[in-house]
Amino acid sequence: MQNKKFIQVFEYQKLRYDDSGDFRKHHFDAMVKFNELHQNKYFTIIHQGIRFGSYVGVIQIGGLTIEILPKADNNENADKNLWQNVLLNMLKICKKIQVESISETQLKKRYHSILDVYFELYLNEIERLVKKGLIKKYRKNQSNQNALKGKLLFSQNIQHNLVHKERFYCEHQVYDKNHLLHQILYKGLLVLKTFVNDSLKDKLNRLLFEFQDIENLAIQKKHFDKIIIDRKNNDYQKAINIAKIIILNYSPSLNYGNENLLTLLFDMNTLWEEYIFRILQKHKTEEIEVSCIDRSMLTP
């Protein structure tokens, strides 16, 4: 069983590393590197530690999860479970959790961290798609064939088959499940292998088996920009939205020493403003007009 560590802190709280505790020097080093790559906007580096700022959310470094919660009072004994639920509700109202089906019961459930909400919703969405049947698409495939199939690629054929005259290097159409939608979902599942808790591992492994024939691409933002949601693939929208959050906030160990790092951070000032706007908008009447000065901060 993988040893998972969990630390909850509040905005503007300090966290110092101790090699005998859960937060250690290598965690600190990974966070420093991450912060530097983002113009030091997420927190402040102090002597042997971190001072958090206005960003709330979660940072997962290998087996350590650090959850940063909002705090509206100065009570040293503030209920962290309460503030975790407050943050989850704010994320739902502000549509940062891009799944409309999340229920009040789910919000009240005791999650290890807010990342677990995204992980569970993601696995549930993919499980639903698998049960319904993953869609197939046509794609172009280039390969060596024993018979001429599709279009012969002359230069590649000479390159590969100068000796084997009986073979043909062709480009032809294939109708299967190995297309961009599934490649994105598969990459999201692979990211979860590092971070998911034990309670979700069985479901994750079952879904990975369903995607074993899907190509493992290095998914980037440009791949999400290529996705066009239409009538045939509309059911994929929720899963793709969560996959985008997971994949684009994942930083592999290449940049952070030996630790994989996954972050989900929100500026509390902006989040609070959007939350108030959406609450007021929900209860507006014909006599009261509610508007937002900077609509670019709103999640569609």
- Identify whether residues 129 and 160 lie together within a single domain: no
- Identify whether residues 12 and 154 lie together within a single domain: no
Domain-located, residue 168: yes
Residues of the chain with pLDDT > 90: what percent?
Answer: 49
Domain-located, residue 288: no
Domain-located, residue 80: yes
Domain-located, residue 24: yes
First to last CA, the chain: 39
Residue-by-residue DSSP string for 128-183: HHHHH----EEEEEEEEESS--SEE-HHHHHHHHSS-TT-EEEEEEEEES-SHHHH
Q: Taking all residues of the chain, what is their mean pLDDT, rounded to a whole number?
A: 84
Place of tokens 């014909």: 286
The top-scoring range by mean pLDDT among 77-81, 89-93, 183-187 is 183-187
- Identify whether residues 186 and 104 lie together within a single domain: yes
> Which are the contacts of 201, defined by CB distance < 8 A and separation ≥ 6?
none
Domain-located, residue 34: yes
Query: Is-above-0.75 flag for pTM?
Result: yes
Give the distance, in angstroms, between the CA of residue 18 and the centroid of all CA atoms in the same chain.
29
Last residue of one domain, picked from the residues 156, 176, 196: 176
Q: How confident is the model at residue 1 (pLDDT cuts 50, 70, 90)?
A: very low
| pLDDT, tens digit (0-9, with 9 covering 90-100), for 90-114 | 998 988 875 445 555 555 555 578 8
Domain that holds residue 164: 137-176
Radius of gyration of the chain (CA): 23
Counting the structural domains of the chain, the total is 2
- Identify whether residues 27 and 171 lie together within a single domain: no
Domain-located, residue 287: no
- Identify whether residues 155 and 233 lie together within a single domain: no
Distance CA 65, CA 60 (A): 4
How far apart, in Å, are the Cα atoms of 199 and each of 46, 59, 108, 116, 205? 36, 20, 18, 10, 12
What confidence score (pLDDT) does residue 105 get?
Answer: 52
Task: Say if residue 74's pLDDT is above 90.
Answer: no
Beta bridge partners of 265: 57
- Identify whether residues 91 and 203 lie together within a single domain: yes
Domain-located, residue 256: yes
Distance CA 135, CA 237 (A): 13
How far apart, in Å, are the Cα atoms of 29 and each of 9, 65, 183, 255? 19, 15, 32, 11
- Identify whether residues 20 and 108 lie together within a single domain: yes
- Identify whether residues 240 and 123 lie together within a single domain: yes
- Identify whether residues 29 and 116 lie together within a single domain: yes
Strands 261-267 and 250-251: antiparallel
Q: Look at the chain and count its residues.
A: 300
Domain-located, residue 144: yes
| pLDDT, tens digit (0-9, with 9 covering 90-100), for 135-176 | 999 888 777 877 777 677 678 877 887 777 778 888 777 888
- Identify whether residues 52 and 196 lie together within a single domain: yes
- Identify whether residues 16 and 163 lie together within a single domain: no
- Identify whether residues 151 and 131 lie together within a single domain: no
